[in-house]
Amino acid sequence: MSLITVKNLSAYYESRKVFEDVSFTVDEGDYLCIIGENGSGKTTLMKALLGIDIKHTGTVLYSGFCKKEIGWLPQKNQHQKDFPASVKEVIMSGFAGKGILGAFYSKKIKEQAKQNMRLLGIEGIAEKSFSELSGGQQQKVLLCRALCAAKKVLLLDEPVTSLDEAASEEMYSLIKKLNRDGMAIIMISHDISRAVAEAEHILSLSNNGFFFGTDAEYVEHVKGDI
Amino acid sequence: MEFITQIFSYPFAVRAIIAGLLLSVSAALIGVNLVLKRFSMLGDGLSHVSFGAAAVGLACGVAPLQFSIPIVIIAAFLLLRLGRNSKINGDAATAIVSSSALAVGITVATLTTGMNTDISNYMFGSILALGKGEVVVAAVCGGMIIAIYVLFYQKIFAVTFDEDFAAVTGVKAKWYNSINAVLTAVTVVIGMRIMGALLISSIITFPALSSMRICKHYKCTVIVAAVVSVVSFLTGLLLSFAFDIPAGAAVVLTNLAAFLILSLVGKVKQI
Ligand SMILES: Nc1ncnc2c1ncn2[C@@H]1O[C@H](COP(=O)(O)OP(=O)(O)O)[C@@H](O)[C@H]1O
Ligand SMILES: [Mg+2]
């Protein structure tokens, strides 16, 4: 049984169609990269999966988890530069959807947050100010926040764009590690060759339709085009 | 010292202090959110709407506070919505609504009751003239705002920091934005009675701005803002008794002093 099954999904802004009739599946522990040119609708597709107000037709089915148990790393954070928040506060907000009230988090949740921070190697900066971190560190913190919200799947929107070489490598290896631990990954990427190297499946969006298959099938598919 | 015990021997002064303290804390809590969400001008716009509504209420012989609260709540919703997804820019919308409401208030007041003390009380505040009923309303509203803020603290933080992400994790972000609009409206109306329509928005934004000079964590920002607000209120009130100046103006001036001091502390800390 697939974790996520998408059938004939089309999305619109106003009346303009962004993409049409996209179908694909994501299995437990899968690693899917979504590629395509700027404006091809990758972010829109991800938002439709997340259930953010995107006008769409077609179906998105989840099994084994519910929508609010998806971990999401949004594209390029538009957080204000001077927002006063500690790394810990940002990470804990991954749990904000749980429960009705929320003056404090339980011991169990705090322990889970600590464990996730250790996993990503950021327990040392827990008390630092989020807005004063480097871009790479901020992405790691936001990955950790996503991890706190996630049960089985992470949705990452261009997680390494605008990071330097070393920070990108670190992000890629952390994502790989999470994937090996059983987390399914859906990642939007700009770097096609890297996407093919990292992922097991590729979803490519373009103006004239979409491609979905394994990384090897994608390489074959592109060869045929040339 | 004698002066202070003397103040506490007047029941009207004690009432004023209690209402003012609750208002100070709730204004500071609301303010942190408004400043961080870049809605600082909302408090200012709503205070003018509140004044306009109170003037109309007075003219029609309806209790001004009870009349203002629903109207200001509606205005808060409209302005927050306008800010989000309309072609009119939020700041511009606030400016239009705020000056129009003020103009309506002044016109109605002049045509009916005239610009009497009642009207000027709403313009400049009159903490010492608060009636028993008004103090109860202020205390209940203030207490409610503080309770909501504490009970939903983590969710409010999540929505303030990243609304889309919070909504994805299952936080009812739209609901919290609505609550925020209602609480802001109530704070403004109650605050108008105490601080005056012209000055209430400053006690909403000042404490948050002051505490952000020295705080890098959200929890610290919230707590310091509340403390700054309370200390400024008490100091301002004492100054107003001592020098016989309007309480609203005195409180704003102490807030300004607190802002300058904390800015300095923030600068020194950076070095
Ligand atoms: N909020 C919006 N309103 C209207 N059009 C939008 C909005 N967001 C994105 N678009 C348009 O939808 C298309 C797809 O955008 P997006 O999904 O962000 O692409 P990608 O992530 O692949 O770069 C683009 O042409 C973009 O201009
Ligand atoms: Mg995008």
Domain boundaries in chain A? 1-65+155-163+184-226
Structure-token match 């998105």, residue found: A60
Residues B46, B188 contacting (CB under 8 angstroms)? yes
Kindly indicate the confidence band of residue A78, based on its pLDDT and cuts at 50, 70 and 90: low
Strand A209-214 relative to strand A201-206, pairing: antiparallel
Q: Which residues of B164-185 are buried (b: 16+ CB within 10 A; e: fewer)?
A: ebbbbbbbebeebbebbbbbbb
Question: Whole-angstrom Cα distance, residue B153 to residue B146?
Answer: 10
For the segment(s) A1-65+155-163+184-226, the CATH number from 3.60.20.10, 2.60.40.420, 3.10.20.30, 3.40.50.300 is: 3.40.50.300
Q: Is the pTM of this model over 0.90?
A: yes
- Residue B214 falls inside a structural domain: no
Q: Is residue B220 part of a domain?
A: no
Gap between the Cα atoms of B89 and B32, Å rounded: 22
Closest residue to atom 27 of ligand 1, CA basis? A39
Flag the least confident range among A86-90, B4-8, B34-38, B184-188: B4-8
Domain carrying residue B153: 2-199
> Which residues approach ligand 1 with their CB closer than 6 A?
A 13, 18, 36, 38-44
Q: What is the Cα Rg of chain A in Å?
A: 18
Distance, in Å, from the CA atom of A133 to the CA atom of B194, rounded to the nearest integer, reads 42
The answer to whether residue B251 is domain-embedded is no
Indicate whether A101 pLDDT > 80. no
| pLDDT for A154 beyond 80 | yes
Burial B46-73 (b: 16+ CB within 10 A, else e): bbbbbbbbbbbbbbeeeebbebbbebbb
Q: Determine, yes or no, domain membership for B125.
A: yes
What is the number of structural domains in chain B? Answer: 1
User: Does B171 fall in a domain?
Assistant: yes
Instruction: Residue window 116-155, chain A: list those with CB within 8 Å of chain B.
Output: 127, 129, 131-132, 145, 149
B76 domain residue, yes or no: yes
Q: Do A52 and B216 touch (CB under 8 A)?
A: no
CATH code for the domain of B110: 1.10.3470.10
- pLDDT higher than 60, residue B140: yes
Contact B168 A70 (CB under 8 A): yes
Q: Is B166 on the interface with A (CB under 8 A)?
A: yes
pLDDT at A204 over 90: yes
CA atoms in the 13 A half-sphere facing the CB of B201: 19
Nearest Cα neighbor of A62 from A74, A75, A48, A73 is A48
Beta sheet of A4-13, edge-to-edge order: A16-26, A4-13, A55-62
- Match 């074959």 to its residue by tokens: A220
d(CA A188, CA A36): 9
B6 within domain boundaries: yes
- Ligand 1: residue whose CA is nearest its atom 4: A13
Quote the ipTM score. 0.93
Nearest CA in chain B to A129: B216
Mean pLDDT lowest for which of A39-48, B172-181, B221-230? B172-181
pLDDT digits 0-9 by tens, B233-261: 999 998 988 898 888 899 999 999 999 99
Ligand 1 atom closest to A38 (CA): 23
**A226 pLDDT exceeds 60?**
no
Give the residue, out of A9, A10, A13, A186, with the most ligand 1 atoms within 8 A of its beta carbon, to mutate for a pocket test: A13
How many angstroms separate the CA atoms of B200 and B44, rounded?
A: 8
How far, in Å, are A72, B9, B29, B41, B204 from residue A150 at the CA level? 8, 58, 30, 37, 37
- Contacts A–B by Cβ distance under 8 A: 94
- Check residue B31 and give its pLDDT: 96
Mean pLDDT (chain A) is: 92
In a domain, B13, yes or no: yes
